[in-house]
Amino acid sequence: MKFEQIKQLDHEHVMNTYGRYDACIVSGKGATCVDVNGKKYIDFTSGIGVNSLGFADPDWVKAVSEQAGKLAHISNLFYTTPGLEVADTLCKKTGYSRVLFGNSGAEANEGAIKTARKYSFDKYGPGRATILTLVNSFHGRTVTTLAATGQDVFHNYFFPFTEGFKHAPAGDMAAVKAADDGSLCAVMVEFVQGEGGVIPLEETFVKRLAEWCKEKDILLIADEVQTGIGRTGKLLASQHFDILPDITTLAKGLGGGLPIGAFMVTDKLKDVMGASSHGTTFGMNPIVCAGANVVLKKVANDKFLKEVIMKGEKIRACLSLCPEVEDITGLGLMIGIKLRTKKSADVVKACLAKGLLVLTAKEKVRLLPPLTISDKELSEGIRILWDVLNQP
Ligand SMILES: *Cc1c(COP(=O)(O)O)cnc(C)c1O
């Protein structure tokens, strides 16, 4: 099929909810992919933080294909081993006690929200179900996770949204405390606000928030859908702060390219979600989990995570010298670039034309390269971005 026909088909028969980049990607290897016309691109997007091992990692492909040939699905009515292995590794590497699997980030957050509300209901009874999230956060696209998302642009059309969410400005402990009218059961945060513009929370705020939540028996939920699984140079971004939130949610990078979501709870919450309290048909799917096991085997490793930090530092060191760059934010290989004069959407287009895929986050250019990106691909991508930013 020719690219023009592909676009026509997409336009005709897929709901027009996405503003797509002007390319149809057909294959990839490492951090390089190829479009339908044979043009190559260096990938600084990882499919929005998903392809943590890049395209077609040989070990991932082998594990997923072998599992597909053995058992694709049987349902949660039976025991299966690939997901058990993921849960076991996650718990051993993070200090959490139990994991429940779903299929996406929004779903993981829904699970966390349900768990927090049930914990509070079981212990304190009704009326203590409000969840505080931060202004400018992003937590997903379901009716409930839209309500959780602290950006008014998302609170439109789909009324009525789920009740029981409040928002406070990031970094503002006084506002957090003021929001507590006795009805709070949890506070949910991203340690680096991703969609909101790659904005990290301040360490003092995170630590004070964690302490305050503990004092009040208000659960701290970490939405690590984007920051988790090595993206920031630690397995979990919470490990930068030496804290273990009561609940952490994961998705994007955990599967290495297949749809997965998960939320993990501490020992205190391990029995909150009992029989029939939650579930999903595809959760803990054997193929998806076979892929996740390969991701964890590679990423949950100090040497690998150190390299993630070094790759991030290389990008920062190079691009901070660029006159068009006003500021660089983020952690590890989650990078936001604030520009002086150019529009991020124009930079995306110019990069695409020159063979580099980058993202935007609000007014910033956002980079989420595969964690395994080679030095050569990294240098080439930086060079293209540098050229684009320095074009008049
Ligand atoms: C992407 C994202 C989500 C939503 O994940 P989906 O898999 O798209 O449902 C939720 N929270 C954060 C922080 C995200 O980056």
CA distance 384 to 187: 40
The minimum-distance atom of ligand 1 relative to the CA of 106 is 9
Tell me if 232 CB under 6 Å of ligand 1: no
Supply angle C-alpha 89, 252, 284, rounded to 5. Answer: 50
Provide the token pair at 116.
């927090």
- Cα-trace Rg, the chain: 21
> What's the 284 CA to ligand 1 centre distance in angstroms?
18
Residue partners of 41: CB distance under 8 A and separation at least 6: 23, 25, 32, 33, 34, 35, 352, 355, 356, 357
* Mutational pocket test of ligand 1: of 17, 143, 195, 263, the residue with most ligand atoms within 8 Å of the beta carbon: 195
pLDDT at 235: 98
Say if CB 77 and CB 282 are below 8 A apart: no
CA distance 128 to 117: 8
Provide the token pair at 220.
């701290």
* Mutational pocket test of ligand 1: of 110, 134, 139, the residue with most ligand atoms within 8 Å of the beta carbon: 139
pLDDT at 134: 98
CA distance 236 to 231: 8
Query: pTM of whole model > 0.85?
Result: yes
Angle between the 81-94 and 286-299 helix axes, to the nearest 10 degrees?
Answer: 30
Tell me if 47 CB under 6 Å of ligand 1: no
The minimum-distance atom of ligand 1 relative to the CA of 142 is 9
Tell me if 140 CB under 6 Å of ligand 1: yes
Nearest CA among 240, 286, 320, 276 for reference residue 84:
286
The contacts found for 336-340 with CB under 8 angstroms, 24 or more apart, are: 336/197, 336/198, 336/199, 336/361, 336/364, 336/365, 336/366, 336/367, 337/364, 337/365, 337/366, 337/367, 338/363, 338/364, 339/363, 339/364, 339/365, 339/389
pLDDT tens-place string over residues 323-374:
999 999 999 999 999 999 999 999 999 999 999 999 999 999 999 999 999 9
* Mutational pocket test of ligand 1: of 46, 138, 188, 280, the residue with most ligand atoms within 8 Å of the beta carbon: 138
Nearest CA among 217, 262, 256, 222 for reference residue 239:
222
Provide the token pair at 241.
């702060």
Provide the token pair at 135.
């202004």
Tell me if 104 CB under 6 Å of ligand 1: yes
Supply angle C-alpha 148, 152, 158, rounded to 5. Answer: 70
Per-residue pLDDT of the chain (392 residues; tens, 9 = 90+): 999 999 999 999 999 999 999 999 999 999 999 999 999 999 999 999 999 999 999 999 999 999 999 999 999 999 999 999 999 999 999 999 999 999 999 999 999 999 999 999 999 999 999 999 999 999 999 999 999 999 999 999 999 999 999 999 999 999 999 999 999 999 999 999 999 999 999 999 999 999 999 999 999 999 999 999 999 999 999 999 999 999 999 999 999 999 999 999 999 999 999 999 999 999 999 999 999 999 999 999 999 999 999 999 999 999 999 999 999 999 999 999 999 999 999 999 999 999 999 999 999 999 999 999 999 999 999 999 999 999 98
pLDDT at 22: 97
